């Protein structure tokens, strides 16, 4: 029975790896682009706080600690054990070493020549704390220590892999889900540090690498591997610059497991907690969050959503919230693109958004509207209705002021990179609506893809070839020769 359970977990591991490798080979690395910068800032801050809270077990010397990661469960576990679970000697050790590590980081930031101080700080902390506990035998007073560590590396578990039996389907189902979650977390963490270190992240290679690692790891009794935020943070804050550091680290870990594990018997858990806390505390980027708030409130919602999702629920929920908000923002922008009324910039033949350029003047008898998006099935009706609303509002203003009646509607199509059949249909409906109002539809600067589709659908023939112009200025000149003459006189 034990073998079957072990084999089931290893099956899970294998299927997680296969899922990740398959996504990489299918070139689905673009999926990581759904994690926006704002979402990553929030995720990073939430993950940093979650990791720091998890270290309170070792930092305070608590023996019975919740296995949940949300802040409510963690704080409840911390305060529930305040009277009988905290160990003051452990707290003294942890607080002292944390202060030392933070001071070492401060020195490294203040003086670039002393970069080695924060890098060597964790090693000094481990040596000093281990020596102190060994000399004073503080472990007898309740200070939790690492104690016995098995020597050597994991034995092979190939003989425990089973691809038949009752657990196959269950292992495959859970393995695929676990692989997706592990992959999302790893790429989110990878993008976080890629942004910090200013290098590019290839999502496809990340997927293949993680999947291969998990398939190989299943043969050595490993857990489903993903990017470790805490270890990556320690690596980053220690000053590691390239992937060679991982090779050095692997060699050191191997030698340590093989020969040096007895030396860590008296290492207090508090020092390990202090090292991780000091590493992640600087990853909560308040300045970046404030900048996001100033630039884009919707991005800030994604940032806060990711942050609170991680802190109050889990890393998976935080990522789900961040991706969901980012996708919602994307859908909102696609289905509700911007449109603008254009006016003539004085003493030029340039036409710009009248909200951005208050001096720009509208052309009498002509309404110029710019569509700032491709026209697809998802937004074609909205664009048509928005243009008609602009036209209705403009006609009401004209009627009140007694100015010249709108006779031409010019649609500036420079930003329209593409149009589908729904877009063509919407333009046809717009054309028919304008005919009923005795207003002529004029198009300015449609792109090559758009103009080809206009000709293929015969819409260009309906509108009239003489109603499609290279620029807005040309269209206005054809619709309002008097205005062209005035601009020429001013320019002259």
CATH (domain of 404): 3.30.750.24
pLDDT-derived band at 36 (thresholds 50, 70, 90) equals confident
Which of these ranges, 10-14, 317-321, 471-475, has the smallest mean pLDDT? 10-14
Q: Are residues 291 and 379 in the same domain?
A: no
- What mean pLDDT value characterizes the chain? 83
Give residue 166's pLDDT: 63
Picking from 307, 332, 357, the residue at the C-terminal end of a domain is 332
Q: Are residues 344 and 297 in the same domain?
A: no
Q: Are residues 159 and 191 in the same domain?
A: yes
Q: Are residues 281 and 376 in the same domain?
A: no
pLDDT in tens, 246-264: 888 888 888 888 888 888 8
Q: How many CA atoms lie within 13 A of 222 on its CB side?
A: 16
Give residue 6's pLDDT: 47
The residue that leads in pLDDT, 145 or 329, is: 145
Backbone angles phi, psi at 379, to 5 degrees: -135, 0
Picking from 301, 332, 363, the residue at the C-terminal end of a domain is 332
Average pLDDT value for residue range 32-57 = 83
Q: Are residues 347 and 262 in the same domain?
A: no
Q: Are residues 341 and 226 in the same domain?
A: no
Give residue 488's pLDDT: 46
Give residue 352's pLDDT: 94
Give residue 29's pLDDT: 60
* pLDDT-above-90 percentage for the chain: 40
pLDDT-derived band at 4 (thresholds 50, 70, 90) equals very low
* pLDDT-above-70 percentage for the chain: 86
Give residue 5's pLDDT: 40
Q: Are residues 345 and 295 in the same domain?
A: no
Average pLDDT value for residue range 106-118 = 82
Average pLDDT value for residue range 391-406 = 86
Find which of 148-162, 168-182, 361-375 is predicted with most confidence, using mean pLDDT: 361-375
Give residue 389's pLDDT: 94
Q: Are residues 364 and 323 in the same domain?
A: no
Q: Are residues 321 and 218 in the same domain?
A: yes
Task: Please tell me the total number of residues recorded for the chain in this structure.
Answer: 492
Cβ(16)–Cβ(257) under 8 Å?
A: no
Q: Are residues 325 and 342 in the same domain?
A: no
Give residue 91's pLDDT: 93
Average pLDDT value for residue range 379-385 = 95
Which of these ranges, 42-51, 139-148, 209-218, 421-430, has the smallest mean pLDDT? 209-218
Q: Are residues 414 and 430 in the same domain?
A: yes
Query: Which residue range(s) make up the domain with 407?
Result: 336-491
Picking from 332, 367, 396, the residue at the C-terminal end of a domain is 332
Average pLDDT value for residue range 76-94 = 89
Give residue 486's pLDDT: 47
- Answer yes or no: is pLDDT of 99 > 90: yes
Give residue 381's pLDDT: 95
- Answer yes or no: is pLDDT of 97 > 90: yes
Give residue 304's pLDDT: 92
Q: Are residues 308 and 347 in the same domain?
A: no
Give residue 2's pLDDT: 36
Q: How many domains does the chain have?
A: 2
- Answer yes or no: is pLDDT of 490 > 50: no
Average pLDDT value for residue range 144-167 = 73
């Amino acid at each position: 029975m034990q073998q079957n359970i072990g084999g089931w977990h290893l099956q899970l591991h294998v299927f997680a790896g296969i899922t990740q490798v398959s996504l990489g080979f299918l070139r689905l690395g673009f999926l990581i682009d759904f994690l926006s910068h704002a979402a990553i800032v929030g995720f990073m801050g939430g993950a940093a706080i979650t990791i720091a809270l998890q270290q309170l077990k070792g930092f305070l010397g608590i023996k019975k600690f919740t296995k949940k990661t949300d802040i409510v469960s963690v704080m409840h576990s911390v305060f529930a054990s305040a009277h009988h679970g905290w160990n003051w000697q452990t707290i003294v050790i942890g607080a002292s070493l944390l202060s030392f590590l933070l001071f070492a980081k401060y020195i490294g930031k203040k003086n670039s020549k002393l970069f080695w101080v924060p890098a060597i700080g964790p090693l000094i902390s481990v040596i000093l704390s281990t020596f102190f506990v060994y000399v004073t035998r503080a472990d007898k007073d309740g200070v939790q220590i690492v104690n016995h560590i098995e020597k050597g590396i994991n034995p092979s578990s190939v003989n425990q892999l089973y691809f038949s039996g009752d657990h196959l389907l269950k292992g495959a189902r859970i393995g695929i889900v676990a692989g997706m979650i592990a992959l999302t977390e790893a790429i989110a963490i990878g993008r976080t540090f890629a942004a910090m270190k200013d290098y590019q992240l290839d999502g496809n290679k990340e997927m293949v690498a993680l999947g291969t690692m998990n398939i190989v790891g299943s043969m050595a009794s490993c857990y489903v591997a993903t990017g470790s935020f805490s270890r990556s943070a320690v690596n980053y804050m220690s000053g590691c610059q390239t992937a060679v550091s991982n090779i050095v680290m692997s060699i050191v870990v191997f030698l340590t497991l093989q020969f040096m594990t007895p030396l860590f018997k008296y290492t207090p858990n508090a020092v390990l907690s202090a090292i991780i806390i000091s590493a992640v505390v600087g990853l909560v980027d308040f300045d970046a969050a404030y900048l996001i708030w100033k630039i884009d409130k919707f991005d800030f919602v994604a940032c806060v959503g990711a942050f609170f999702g991680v802190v109050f629920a889990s890393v998976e929920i935080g990522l789900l919230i961040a991706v969901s908000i980012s996708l919602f923002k994307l859908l909102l922008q696609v289905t509700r693109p911007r449109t603008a009324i254009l006016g003539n910039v004085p003493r030029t033949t340039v036409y710009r958004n009248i909200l951005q350029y208050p001096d720009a003047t509208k052309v009498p008898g002509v309404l110029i509207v710019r569509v700032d998006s491709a026209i697809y099935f998802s937004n074609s009706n909205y664009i048509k209705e928005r243009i008609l609303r602009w036209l209705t509002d403009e006609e009401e203003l004209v009627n009140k002021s007694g100015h010249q009646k709108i006779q031409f509607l010019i649609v500036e199509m420079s930003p329209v990179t593409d149009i589908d059949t729904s877009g063509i249909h919407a333009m046809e409906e717009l054309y028919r609506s304008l005919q009923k109002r005795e207003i002529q539809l004029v198009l300015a600067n449609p792109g090559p893809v758009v103009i080809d589709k206009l000709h293929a659908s015969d819409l260009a023939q309906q509108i009239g070839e003489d109603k499609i112009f290279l620029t807005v200025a040309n269209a206005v000149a054809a619709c309002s020769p008097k205005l062209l003459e005035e601009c020429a006189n001013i320019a002259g």
